[in-house]
A and B are shown apart, each in its own frame.
Chain A
Amino acid sequence: MVIKTPTIPEIQEAVKAQPRLLCRAGGSKQALSGADGSVTLDVSGLSGVLEYQAGEFVFTALAGTPLLEIEKMLSEKGQYLPFDPPLADAGATLGGTVAAGLSGPMRWRYGGVRDFILGVKFVDGEGSLVRGGGRVVKNAAGFDLPKLMVGSLGRLGVLVELSFKVFPAPQATRTLRVAFGRLEEALEACLRLAASAIELYALDFEPPAGLALRLGGLEKALEERSRRLWSFLGKDGELLEGEREARYWRGINNFGWAGGKPLVKVALTPKKIAGLEAALLHSSNPLPSSTRRYHAAGHLLYMAWDGSWTELDTLLKTQGLAGLVLAGNPLSPALGINSAHPFGERATRALDPQGKFAR
């Protein structure tokens, strides 16, 4: 059963009346919002910006608001979402982005979705409408429920309304793509850059041995800064500018490179990359390395996968990593090491005592 475009009171009613509920909006992360037998709450109609004053660099919108709408509104004022959420062109919404906890390449510069969320309104497992955080950029009152909702996969409540801080968009950007001979060389350069004073908007590792570096800032300083970056690397590369550069990153963030294959997010650190790449190459159905993309100096991987989910689950466990399936049909979207702990279990019980959102 699908409950289409419920109002907030109807969401509260549904939570009280139904034994199990699954929430969806844009449906761009099908593995997380596909029907699983429970009642589906389709909140895509819960859409629209409630408050935006450009001078405040803060906005509040309903959870089902498409990212595209937000991005358009912000870019008209020279602002942007610094956490650079993926799948905007596929119809991803603000609420889905928070629930899945997804950020994109530019999260390298100022942080991920958790670093920009300010406030949240949601319906908890008992049907109460509750609020956490606020609508100002700095706030230390009460528990940080907005952060808790990041990555919560709809298991702690139905997101209704979200507030974010935003930043001024860089006046100009340009990108340098550099190829190295070996994976280790590329990673070494990646770590050196990450610890240097050179400030990049994106620092991506492209396996098998490339880096994509995005510079941003005032137009007049960009030329000299690019030259400096070049000499820091001691290497030439391909320069992307203007419309071509924007299209390149847009493509990256819409996962076109995954070729429509099932898609997985993995949280990691740079030192795990070499081992993981080797393990993937030796898996039973290895995909070309162009179907993997490491953002944020190797802290965030999006990868296509065409083998069995059990195999990937085991492979990630062996590497000491955890993954989340975004597209595909696994038994459970959570793969790899299990990080369940009593703190999480007890807090979940407080938010959803009857397990209405459990999966």
Chain B
Amino acid sequence: MSKEVLQELSKLLPAGRLLTAAAALSPYQSDALTAFKAKPLAVALPESAGEVIETVRWCAKHQIPFVARGSGTSLSGGSLPIDGGLVIGLNRLNRILKLDPKERVAVVEPGVVNLDVSKAAAPFGLYYAPDPSSQPVSTIGGNLAFNSGGAHCLKYGMTSNHVLGAKVVLPTGEVVELGGESLENTGPDWLGLFVGSEGLMGVALEIKLRLLPKPEKYHTVLAAYDSLEKAGSAVAMVVASGLLPGAMEIMDSLAIEAAEAAVQAGYPQDAKALLIVELEGETLEVEAEARHLSEVIEASRAYKVQIARNEAERAKIWKGRKAAFSAVGRLSPDYIVQDGVVPRSKLGQALSEIEKLSLRYGLRVANVFHAGDGNLHPLILYDGRVPGELERGEELAGEILKLCVALGGSITGEHGVGMEKKRYLPAMFAEADIELMRKIRQSVDPHELSNRGKMFPGGEAEALVRQGLHPLEKRGVISRE
């Protein structure tokens, strides 16, 4: 690339907001999937939608691939830079443009942090429902691109179910409005296609979010079991009972041990599995449901049951769960976070297969998962200094994904395909399916500039090093789902 081309961009962005020096670029070489590294050409730090549009137009004009990123918490390498491409850092577009408590809508810029939306809505008794564990740092733009989930997706869905509209700059530089402020629509759901498209179809500039009234009452139960299987069947029993909890989570003994060591959540240390069930809603209804739930949990042969008596106790139960992933770092120098989905009735079978795989590969696997929707998060523990362990771990991770597909599930529930899983996309979709998705992408982005090399199988070689925790995880700022 010629110097003049880059100079053209520097005219669009004031000094200090176009990084090109090697030292300034290095923090952008990876996202939360530190296994992958790539060297971008430059990092642009726009401060307004207008600057983002101009930057994308510059990319389109000179056919320079780009990746838009927020806080870089993607666990699938979705915000990894493209070698020689531009990174568009959106963290400075962090304004909440409008908050209408009456219509329960917030309009935000893509760099607004997830939790900040709920904080701004709190004085009105409202909140933004999707709660990825990264929510203290991850941004709405990234949440939208990857259709982020969280522990509380069971009742009210994922990011896609909470985005009403978006103003988007397409990879060609054109600006379009998708969706609107209504919950309804009278044509094809273009917004639905855009959300979760992993940054392959452009950059969201303004996002309209639906806010929900904060549940009046939570009822949080922690049940301990002497086997993982019993906890798994407890989930099936709760679901079959006609209750619809806000969240249902399971942790196995390895995860319990780690979480307890890290945050002292007061979990029973001898448990083989812990189940967290949380009811939420109108006080009168939740109280009636709680009695119903107690009967179900009792019948599920939990040997110990703890009910949060106040907000502090509830927070403590969740703290252990939310910290479980990074806490596993205490048990092992390195680990791989996996994200797969199985039908809920196959949870028990999936867990016992994973246990067998763990024995066969000689690597420990901790399990922390959103049991209510069958979303598994096996953590594969390995030591990167031991030759061959990383490769074995990766192979084991791949086996788990294939297992999920074989059981009728998915290769990803909420982390997305990104870099990490693109070679497994064909395990889930036929050639014709992937071909059509590719045609849509190429029709919208003929030069494949926007987040080039992600989601679709093939393309550039994959990195081989895994390097433990993200620096933010080490500091305890973020934790993984």
Contacts and interface: CB of A to CB of B under 8 A. Distances in A.
Q: Which 4 A-B pairs have CB atoms at the shortest separation, nearest pair first?
A: A147-B192, A267-B184, A197-B216, A350-B443
Nearest to A121: B433
Given A129-B432, A143-B197, A136 B343 contact: yes
A218 B244 contact: no
A142 B405 CA distance: 14
A350 B184 contact: no
Interface string B425-461: 1001110111111011111100000000001000000
Given A129-B432, A342-B176, A349 B443 contact: yes
Contacts of A103: 184
A81 to B, nearest CB: 15
Nearest to B339: A140
Given A56-B345, A347-B444, A350-B442, A134 B410 contact: yes
Nearest to B415: A140
Interface string A47-75: 00000011111100000000000000000
Most chain B CB neighbours (cut-off 10 Å) among A147, A221, A344? A147
Given A148-B190, A195-B126, A141 B412 contact: yes
Interface of A is mostly: mixed
B104 interface: yes
Contact of A299 (B183, B201, B215, B288): B183
A194 interface: yes
Contacts of B441: 143
Interface string B184-201: 111111101111110001
B187 A140 contact: no
A78 B236 CA distance: 15
A235 interface: no
A221 B285 contact: yes
B411 A224 contact: no
Contacts of B149: 138, 140
Most chain A CB neighbours (cut-off 10 Å) among B158, B170, B193, B434? B193
Interface in A190-244: 191, 194-199, 217-218, 220-221, 224-225, 228
B284 interface: yes
A112 B189 CA distance: 12
A349 B188 CA distance: 14
6 contacts: A101-B187, A140-B410, A141-B410, A143-B440, A144-B192, A149-B188
Given A128-B432, A130-B433, A151 B188 contact: yes
Contacts of B455: 142
A145 B195 CA distance: 11
Contact of B161 (A53, A115, A130, A336): A115
Contacts of B176: 341-343
Interface in B147-196: 147, 149, 153, 155-158, 160-161, 168, 170, 172, 174, 176-178, 180-190, 192-196
B102 interface: yes
B344 A55 contact: yes
A152 to B, nearest CB: 4
A58 B411 CA distance: 18
Interface in B103-137: 103-104, 124-126
Nearest to B288: A221
A269 B181 contact: yes
A265 interface: yes
A182 interface: no
Given A195-B104, A350-B443, A225 B284 contact: yes
Given A137-B373, A197-B214, A267-B184, 12 more contacts: A101-B186, A107-B183, A136-B408, A138-B158, A141-B428, A142-B433, A197-B215, A269-B103, A300-B182, A334-B186, A343-B168, A344-B190
A150 B189 contact: yes
Contacts of B425: 141-142
B428 to A, nearest CB: 5
Contact of A140 (B147, B178, B374, B434): B147
Given A115-B161, A136-B341, A139-B413, A339 B429 contact: no
Most chain A CB neighbours (cut-off 10 Å) among B187, B243, B342, B443? B187
A24 interface: no
B458 to A, nearest CB: 15
B273 interface: no
Interface string B451-473: 00001000000000000000000
Interface residues of A, number: 86
A323 B187 CA distance: 9
A322 interface: yes
B184 A299 contact: yes
A112 B282 contact: no
Given A134-B409, A225-B284, A339 B177 contact: yes
Contacts of B186: 101, 151, 265-267, 322-324, 334, 336
Contacts of B124: 195
A153 interface: yes
B213 interface: yes
Interface string A103-117: 100010011101100
Most chain B CB neighbours (cut-off 10 Å) among A111, A140, A191, A199? A140
A238 B107 CA distance: 38
A171 B242 contact: yes
Interface in B349-382: 370, 373-375
A153 B189 CA distance: 11
A197 B213 contact: yes
A101 B124 CA distance: 32
A220 B284 CA distance: 10
Interface string B14-27: 00000000000000
Contacts of A138: 149, 153, 158, 341, 370, 373-375, 410, 413-414
B160 A147 contact: yes
A300 to B, nearest CB: 5
B182 A267 contact: yes
Interface string A30-52: 00000000000000000000000
B196 A339 contact: no
A141 B195 CA distance: 12
B284 A221 contact: yes
Contacts of A217: 282, 285, 288-289
B281 interface: yes
Nearest to A347: B440
B181 to A, nearest CB: 5
B413 A350 contact: no
A298 B195 CA distance: 25
B146 interface: yes
B412 A140 contact: yes
